[in-house]
């Protein structure tokens, strides 16, 4: 069950240019309930002004119980610093409160039969993909992470990534790893993976779908789950501002998603 | 729907009003009849800001005659209180208000969203798939207040004011313009506790002002309402 709570700013770490990892204190019930692919809606509260008016969705990268006495239970988010709402979050001072709602949405389903998971992330999608990688590794699932970016400086540095995952990188400018699209790396894992999980802009999913269609091997292809993003006002399925077209009709990204089976979503 | 939700509402300690939208006059009346005497339903509010399929897509709420027709049909179909929700996308809101009040509306609520549009400069296309969309929230408050003021001076039925309310001060403005009650839409997305906070703040404000009832401030800022001697 999602709940309304106050998330208190603890600290920020500039993990990447124009992106910061933000750590917020949160109630234990929220931290314990958070599952990979779920998100929180965050707002400074109307008391702090009306700009922006609406809360913003952010994926949960890590939900951690306090490590020692006097430490808070916390949520870690990876936040792009350019926007208005996110900017306020990143510039907050320790102790500053944010009105929060979460954990929200339906996240990745890591079925019991999955033993080799292929994860694919572009942009801030690395945040929920890290969450999924850590949950999968904790269950003994082998994990390969494919991470794409325009250039090497936009890749989340290794210390922030799970050490037990195999990581392969692609950059558009060739400054690290494969020179090209991250989806170019997918074919060589299609015989290996028994589950594929992605968080990236939609054009990447179109390329991913092409890569799967091009497969000529004998194996039944693994199921693919992808996360969709839409602007959100409520985060709980009442405003219908976040709908996505699926083969089963219009669905809310905030409640039915953000994670959907790739074959279900209508990509344009 | 009727089997599922009203029994839940009946257990709540607040009355639940069902907002209805239809494509034809008949659909509105049919829905209102289905809800009549259903436990847990305290009233209906007609969303007339939608196109009438039988009248070439003309919006019910943009034409006094159509608005009156749908109001009268619903009035005849149910014993429930009937609230008609007015659209701001008209030239003369008072004319529509008078028409629906005369057709038997028990109360009016206003305003619905203002028709708006935004363009994504990068993609050189409208942002919304539907091209236009409903504008709500603080930006529409002055328009909403002006319309509540005009309608309060034009009719004698109670008015529910809404549009951009984000706190006590906004609610007070609507009450003083002539609304007997207020609704909060968009601000609830920003803060789920908004409505209960306004209720608490209003009670505290009344006590500070030495007032015993909200009635004492309804329409106090409205010269036209005073002239009609309403409330
Ligand atoms: C389920 C879900 C999960 C999400 N998770 C995350 C997450 O983990 N991390 C994250 O950062 N975002 C995430 N987002 C996206 C985020 O919610 C939106 O980008 C949101 O609009 C940010 O609010 P804002 O007020 O900062 O940006 P706004 O001011 O609303 O800006 C709107 C858009 O413009 C872009 N933008 C604004 N300023 C600049 C600029 N100077 N240069 C380039 N682009 C700019 C922003 O990235 C944003 O996409 C998620 C969205 C969804 C639906
Ligand atoms: C997401 C959203 C959905 C709405 N849905 C309805 C609706 O189904 N019926 C209706 O009569 N008005 C609907 N409205 C209009 C609101 O009830 C209200 O009239 C308007 O938004 C102005 O009030 P506000 O500024 O407090 O939101 C909707 C508004 C929003 C923002
Ligand atoms: S954000 Fe309101 S329905 Fe999804």
pLDDT truncated to tens, each residue of chain A (268 aa)?
789 999 999 999 988 888 899 999 999 999 999 999 999 999 876 666 767 888 999 999 999 999 888 889 999 999 988 777 777 788 888 998 888 999 999 999 998 889 999 999 999 999 999 999 999 999 999 999 999 999 999 999 888 999 999 999 999 999 999 999 999 999 999 999 999 999 999 999 999 999 999 999 888 999 999 999 999 999 999 888 899 999 999 999 999 999 999 999 999 7
Question: What percent of chain B shows pLDDT beyond 70?
Answer: 97
Same domain, A85 and A124: no
pLDDT, tens digit, 9 for 90 and up, residues B133-166: 889 999 999 999 999 999 999 999 999 999 999 9
Domain ranges of chain B: 6-216
Contact predicate A38/A132, CB 8 Å: no
Token pair for residue B112? 């619905």
Same domain, A100 and A122: no
What homologous superfamily is domain B6-216 in, according to CATH? Answer: Aldolase class I (3.20.20.70)
CATH number at residue A19: 2.40.30.10
Same domain, A144 and A244: yes
Domain extent at residue A161: 116-264
pLDDT of B231 reads 44
For residues B4-22, give the mean pLDDT.
Answer: 95
Residue A88 belongs to some domain of the structure: yes
For residue A61, the CA-to-ligand 3 centroid distance in Å is 21
First to last CA, chain B: 37
Angle at B73 between CA B68 and CA B77, to 5 degrees: 145
Same domain, A15 and A138: no
pLDDT of A217 reads 86
pLDDT of B144 reads 98
From A169's Cα to the closest Cα of chain B, the distance in A is 29
Same domain, A150 and A50: no
pTM: 0.87
Chain-wide mean pLDDT for chain B?
A: 92
Same domain, A121 and A99: no
pLDDT of B114 reads 94
Tell me which chain A residues have a C-beta less than 8 angstroms from the C-beta of B192.
Answer: 4, 101
- Best of B126, B140, B189 to disrupt the A interface (most A CBs within 10 Å) is B189
Confidence band of B90 (pLDDT split at 50, 70, 90): very high
pLDDT of residue B52 exceeding 80: no
For residue A219, the CA-to-ligand 3 centroid distance in Å is 38
Query: Which among B138, B166, B191 has CB closest to A99?
Result: B191
Same domain, A56 and A137: no
Q: Which of A82, A104, A126 is the last residue of a domain?
A: A104
pLDDT of residue B230 exceeding 50: no
* Domain count along chain A: 2
Residue A111 belongs to some domain of the structure: no
For residue B55, the CA-to-ligand 3 centroid distance in Å is 32
Same domain, A160 and A60: no
Contact call for B138 and A53, based on CB within 8 A? yes
pLDDT of B229 reads 46
From B210's Cα to the closest Cα of chain A, the distance in A is 26
Same domain, A43 and A80: yes
Same domain, A215 and A180: yes
pLDDT of A91 reads 83
ipTM of this complex > 0.90? no
pLDDT of A48 reads 66
Q: Which of A104, A136, A161 is the last residue of a domain?
A: A104
Contact call for A101 and B192, based on CB within 8 A? yes
Residue in A closest to B130 by C-alpha? A241
Q: What is the dihedral of CA B204, B215, B183, B75, to 10 degrees?
A: 150
pLDDT of A35 reads 96
For residues B189-206, give the mean pLDDT.
Answer: 93
CATH number at residue A132: 3.40.50.80
pLDDT of A263 reads 95
Establish if B186 touches chain A: CB-CB under 8 angstroms: yes
Residue A109 belongs to some domain of the structure: no
pLDDT of A45 reads 66
Query: Which among A43, A46, A55 has CB closest to B166?
Result: A46
pLDDT of A126 reads 96
Residue in B closest to A55 by C-alpha? B190
Residue A207, classed as helix, strand or coil, is: helix
Contact call for B192 and A4, based on CB within 8 A? yes
Residue A80 belongs to some domain of the structure: yes
Same domain, A100 and A120: no
For residue B228, the CA-to-ligand 3 centroid distance in Å is 43
For residues B106-115, give the mean pLDDT.
Answer: 96
Query: Which among B137, B186, B191 has CB closest to A45?
Result: B191
Q: What is the helix (H) or strand (E) element at residue A244, kind and residue range?
A: strand A243-246
- Quote the DSSP letter at residue A79: E
Contact call for A46 and B187, based on CB within 8 A? yes
Q: Which of A81, A104, A127 is the last residue of a domain?
A: A104
């Amino acid at each position: 069950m999602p709940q309304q709570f106050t998330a208190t700013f603890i600290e920020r770490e500039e993990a990447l240019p124009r992106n910061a990892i933000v750590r917020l204190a949160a109630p234990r019930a929220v931290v314990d309930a958070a599952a990979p692919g779920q998100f929180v809606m965050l707002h400074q509260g109307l008391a702090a002004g009306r700009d922006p008016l609406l809360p913003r969705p952010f994926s949960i990268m890590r939900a951690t119980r306090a490590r020692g006495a006097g430490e808070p239970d916390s949520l870690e988010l990876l936040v792009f610093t350019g926007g208005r709402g996110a900017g306020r979050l990143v510039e907050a001072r320790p102790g500053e409160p944010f009105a929060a709602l979460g954990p929200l949405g339906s996240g990745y389903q890591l079925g019991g039969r999955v033993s080799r998971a292929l994860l694919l992330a572009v942009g801030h999608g690395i945040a929920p993909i890290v969450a999924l990688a850590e949950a999968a590794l904790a269950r003994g699932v082998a994990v390969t992470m494919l991470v794409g970016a325009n250039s090497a400086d936009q890749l989340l540095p290794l210390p922030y990534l799970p050490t037990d995952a195999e990581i392969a990188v692609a950059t558009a400018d060739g400054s690290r790893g494969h020179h090209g699209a991250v989806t170019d790396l997918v074919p060589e894992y299609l015989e290996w993976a028994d589950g594929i999980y992605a968080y990236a802009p939609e054009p990447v999913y179109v390329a991913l779908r092409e890569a799967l269609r091009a497969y000529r091997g004998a194996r039944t292809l693994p199921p693919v789950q992808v996360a969709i993003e839409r602007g959100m006002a409520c985060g709980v399925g009442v405003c219908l501002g976040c709908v996505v077209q699926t083969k089963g009709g219009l669905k809310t990204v905030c409640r039915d998603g953000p994670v959907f089976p790739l074959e279900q979503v209508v990509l344009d | 729907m009727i089997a599922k939700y009203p029994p839940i509402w009946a257990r709540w300690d607040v009355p639940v009003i069902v907002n209805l939208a239809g494509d034809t006059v008949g659909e509105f009346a049919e829905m209102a009849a289905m809800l009549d005497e259903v436990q847990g339903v305290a009233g209906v509010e007609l969303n007339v800001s939608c196109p009438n399929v039988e009248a070439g897509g003309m919006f019910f709420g943009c034409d006094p005659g159509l608005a009156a027709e749908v109001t009268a049909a619903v009035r005849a179909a149910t014993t429930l209180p009937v609230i008609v929700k007015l659209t701001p996308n008209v030239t003369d809101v008072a004319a529509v208000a008078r028409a629906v009040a005369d057709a038997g509306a028990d109360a009016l609520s206003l305003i619905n969203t203002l028709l708006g549009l935004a363009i994504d400069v990068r993609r050189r296309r409208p942002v919304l798939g539907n091209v236009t969309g409903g504008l709500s929230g603080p930006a529409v408050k002055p328009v909403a207040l002006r319309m509540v003021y005009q309608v309060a001076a034009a009719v004698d039925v109670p008015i529910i004011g809404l549009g951009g309310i984000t706190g006590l001060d906004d609610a007070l403005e609507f009450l003083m313009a002539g609304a007997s009650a207020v609704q909060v839409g968009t601000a609830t997305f920003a803060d789920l506790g908004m409505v209960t906070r306004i209720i608490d703040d209003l009670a505290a404000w009344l006590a500070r002002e030495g007032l015993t009832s909200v009635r004492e401030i309804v329409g106090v800022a409205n010269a036209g309402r005073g002239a009609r001697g309403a409330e």
